[in-house]
Amino acid sequence: MAIETIAVVGPTASGKTRRAVSLASRLDGEIISADSRQVYRDMTLGTGKDLEEYNGIPYHLIDICEAGEKYNLHRYLTDFSSSYNDILRRGKLPVICGGSGMYVENALNGIRMPEVPCNEDLRHSLKNKSLLELTDILKKYKTLHNTTDVDTVKRAIRAIEISEYYRQHPEEAELTRKGMARKLDALVVGISIPREERRKRISERLQTRLDNGMIDEVKHLLEKGVKPEDLIYYGLEYKFLTLHLVGEISYEEMFKSLETAIHQFAKRQMTWFRGMEKRGTHIHWLPYNLSDEEFMYEVINLLN
């Protein structure tokens, strides 16, 4: 086996975790999560950790920081490198699994991200601007390939802060470019699922998680002292459940808005993965409904 890692990618509700676990089990591997929210403790149902699916397979970068913190790409790449090298040192196969395309792509490309300090003066000058105004400012720095940087005012201000730092420190900006990095020798497998089946699974899974106590999970975080605005910052489940719990929207509004938001999120995930392919990452797409044996057979063939 010439490759040094396998990555399993795809939209939410496509069954990535089960596939990654089966590969890790068969190929003596360990899972490295590539999910921007599964890093947080006590955020389990809302982030879809599905820890019961791991069946004893070791996993990394799940439950590594407290809810309320602001985890980011820089921290992820640092943590990823540490976990990745540790797995290799022990003679195991790193199996990357997740739907955060930005995390996956940068990790596979071996990108390094210098720590960007806070710029209080810049933040103060931007604090009263609308999200639309901030988006226009960010567009002057770079082309926006997705909406992740401008989901909220806080994220947009941080994105401008980072862009301004790199403008002032071009030598550090160079470290973030592919040409300065060693790309990982990876097999990237994508889970392909038809849109209507994906939508059906998303709706069913949302109801199941609500039935299993997802509202109580968010209520517990609020009772622990996590600020509502910090939970809203995380988006999707935590945004809409928090808005419901603080009385801003009804249960019905929460469910409908959240369901729509997850569908839109899955669409953005697929847009990112198509962008990855255009930028040079070869993703081998396999049907979501293959049996475990068929899936393993296809991956082994790709490895050979």
pLDDT in tens, 216-256: 999 999 999 999 999 999 999 999 999 999 999 999 999 99
What is the sign, positive or negative, of the torsion defined by CA atoms of 37, 286, 277, 303?
A: positive
Across the range 139-143, mean pLDDT stands at 89
Is the model's pLDDT at 176 over the cut of 70? Answer: no
Q: Looking at domain 5-110+184-303, does it have CATH number 3.40.50.300? A: yes
Q: How far is CA 289 from the centre of its chain?
A: 23
Is there a contact between 55 and 25 (Cβ–Cβ < 8 Å)? yes
Asked whether 206 and 255 are in contact (CB, 8 A), the reply is: yes
Question: Each residue of 29-78: pLDDT tens digit?
Answer: 999 999 999 999 999 999 999 999 999 999 999 999 999 998 888 899 99
Residue 182: pLDDT band (50, 70, 90) is confident
Nearest to 150, CA basis, from 132, 172, 165: 132
Residue 301: pLDDT above 90? yes
* Nearest alpha carbon to residue 184 among 298, 285, 77: 77
Taking residues 13-31, report their average pLDDT. 96
User: What pLDDT shows up at residue 231?
Assistant: 95
Domain-wise residue ranges, the chain: 5-110+184-303, 114-177
Instruction: Give the model confidence (pLDDT) of 113-137 as tens digits.
Output: 777 889 999 999 999 999 999 999 9
Give the start-end residues of each E strand in the chain: 5-9, 29-33, 59-60, 93-97, 186-192, 283-287
Best CA proximity match to 110, nearest among 49, 182, 173: 182
State the average pLDDT over residues 163-168. 91
Quote the pLDDT of residue 170.
86
